[in-house]
């Protein structure tokens, strides 16, 4: 990509005086002009600049306004009031762009305002224009122009061309800065879009990580750890507000022999189909989890014993009558419902597990409720 200074015609060694007391600013400005083939001389004060102008010939002066001792306005007026130097174009560099500053530039007969920060291309374009069409000498007989600003009267003696150039230069700088602002805003919007996209990707990744941490990889059901957390929440709510809560545990019958005969991949398919039956037969408020191995758990909030037993029986029948590829598959069920003897969530699990054991002990493929067990 070509340097932006190459867009401007070469300076052909034209001598330019830079007046700037800040070394970094002066160095930057000098590099821009030297790359465009201008011969640059530096002065650090208005007094030094006037001494150089008295000794040597310069085609253009670029000066900062805010300097110790003689400021840029005073130095510019001294240049324009001298017969020897009054036709030398003067560019004022400033961070100020209020009407009062513009008026002050007119009073000192400056030729151009360049508001900081500026682009090198804009600076070089204005330098080229002023060198190609240098200003005419100020008309000493021109009628002073009174100007009222902020309740004060000012008298401007600059020529018409200087007035137009100086006013238009401030407008041009404002347009340039507005373009840069628009470009900066566009870049900021682009980066914000990228940030939002990255945040969305991060959110999705976090959700995926959360799902991996809470989900059984084989069946897609919630895992044992998540079941324990949900059990504690549901038990606390049920006991606090005196709500019914039931738990259903089920175990695939003769699953070890199935795996030994048909292999683990076939056994995995059985577990996935059982999980599917469970999710299809339960409500959205129920909580289905893989408890471990071939065992599953279903938490049934707001569910009394009778409704829990009915659900367990429907699920048992659905598994039994499903079309299985290798051999019939059945499951045994144990159900428990909280009562006055259920003091913790772990006790609810223990009661359901005991009922499940009774179902397996008495022939499998059946449903038993904990209340059916003989108390010791």
Report the CATH number at residue 127.
3.40.50.2300
Indicate whether 278 and 345 sit together in one domain: yes
Structure tokens at 151: 């309740």
Residue 140 lies in a domain: yes
Residue 199 lies in a domain: no
Indicate whether 228 and 361 sit together in one domain: yes
Residue 91 lies in a domain: yes
Q: Is this prediction's pTM over 0.85?
A: no
Helix segments in 246-344, DSSP class H? 255-262, 264-281, 305-321
- What CATH number should be reported for the domain holding residue 289? 3.30.70.270
Residue 311 lies in a domain: yes
Indicate whether 155 and 278 sit together in one domain: no
Structure tokens at 118: 């500026």
Helices 120-132/23-35 angle, 10° precision: 60
Residue 237 lies in a domain: yes
Indicate whether 229 and 131 sit together in one domain: no
Number of domains present in the structure of the chain: 2
Residue 321 lies in a domain: yes
Indicate whether 262 and 347 sit together in one domain: yes
Indicate whether 70 and 128 sit together in one domain: yes
Indicate whether 334 and 281 sit together in one domain: yes
Indicate whether 34 and 155 sit together in one domain: yes
Structure tokens at 100: 């009062």
Q: Answer with the one of 187, 215, 239 that is the final residue of a domain.
A: 187
C-alpha 46/C-alpha 71 separation (Å) is 6
Cα R_g (the chain), whole angstroms: 44
Q: What confidence score (pLDDT) does residue 339 get?
A: 94
Cα angle: 256, vertex 262, 265; to 5 degrees: 90
pLDDT in tens, 248-288: 999 999 999 999 999 999 999 999 999 999 999 999 999 99
Q: Answer with the one of 187, 211, 243 that is the final residue of a domain.
A: 187
CB 358 within 8 A of CB 372: yes
pLDDT in tens, 36-57: 999 999 999 999 999 999 999 9
C-alpha 108/C-alpha 162 separation (Å) is 10
Indicate whether 151 and 239 sit together in one domain: no
Q: Answer with the one of 141, 164, 187 that is the final residue of a domain.
A: 187
pLDDT in tens, 114-168: 877 778 888 898 898 888 887 776 555 556 666 555 566 666 666 555 666 666 6
Cβ atoms within 10 Å, residue 157: 18
Indicate whether 130 and 238 sit together in one domain: no
φ, ψ of residue 111 to 5 degrees: the values are -100, -20
Residue 83 lies in a domain: yes
pLDDT in tens, 341-363: 999 999 999 999 999 999 999 99
Of 13, 63, 73, residue with least CA distance to 43? 63
pLDDT in tens, 295-312: 999 999 999 999 999 999
Range of the domain at 328: 224-372
CA dihedral (16, 17, 20, 26) positive or negative: positive
* Positions marked active-site: 294
């Amino acid at each position: 990509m070509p340097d932006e200074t190459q867009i401007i015609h070469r300076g052909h060694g034209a001598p330019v005086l830079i007046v700037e007391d800040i070394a970094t600013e002066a160095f930057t400005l000098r590099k821009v002009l030297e790359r465009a083939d201008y011969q640059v001389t530096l002065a650090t004060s208005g007094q030094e600049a006037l001494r150089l102008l008295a000794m040597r010939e310069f085609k253009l002066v670029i000066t900062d306004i805010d300097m110790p001792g003689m400021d840029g306005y005073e130095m510019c007026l001294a240049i324009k009031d001298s017969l020897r130097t009054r036709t030398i174009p003067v560019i004022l560099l400033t961070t100020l762009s209020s009407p009062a500053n513009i008026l002050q530039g007119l009073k000192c007969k400056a030729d151009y305002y360049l508001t900081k920060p500026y682009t090198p291309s804009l600076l070089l374009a204005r330098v080229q224009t002023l060198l190609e069409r240098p200003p005419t000498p100020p008309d000493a007989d021109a009628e002073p122009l009174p100007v009222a600003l902020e309740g004060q009267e000012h008298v401007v003696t600059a020529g018409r061309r200087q007035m137009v150039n100086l006013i238009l230069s401030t407008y041009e700088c404002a347009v340039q800065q507005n373009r840069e602002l628009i470009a900066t805003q566009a870049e900021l919007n682009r980066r914000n879009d990228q940030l939002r996209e990255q945040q969305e990707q991060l959110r999705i990744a976090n959700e995926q990580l959360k799902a991996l941490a809470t989900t059984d990889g084989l069946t897609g059901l919630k895992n044992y750890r998540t079941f324990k957390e949900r059990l504690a929440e549901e038990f606390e709510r049920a006991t606090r507000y005196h709500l019914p809560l039931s738990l259903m545990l089920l175990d695939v019958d003769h699953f070890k022999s199935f795996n030994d005969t048909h292999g683990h991949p076939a056994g995995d398919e059985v577990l996935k189909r059982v999980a599917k039956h469970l999710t299809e037969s339960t409500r959205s408020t129920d909580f289905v989890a893989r408890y471990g191995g071939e065992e599953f758990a279903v938490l049934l909030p707001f569910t009394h014993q009778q409704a829990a037993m009915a659900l367990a029986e429907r699920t048992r029948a659905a598994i039994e009558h499903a079309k299985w590829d290798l051999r019939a598959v059945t499951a045994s069920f144990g159900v428990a419902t909280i009562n006055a003897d259920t003091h913790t969530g772990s006790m609810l699990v223990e009661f359901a597990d005991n009922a499940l054991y009774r179902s397996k002990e008495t022939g499998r493929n059946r449903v038993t409720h904990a209340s059916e067990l003989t108390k010791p």
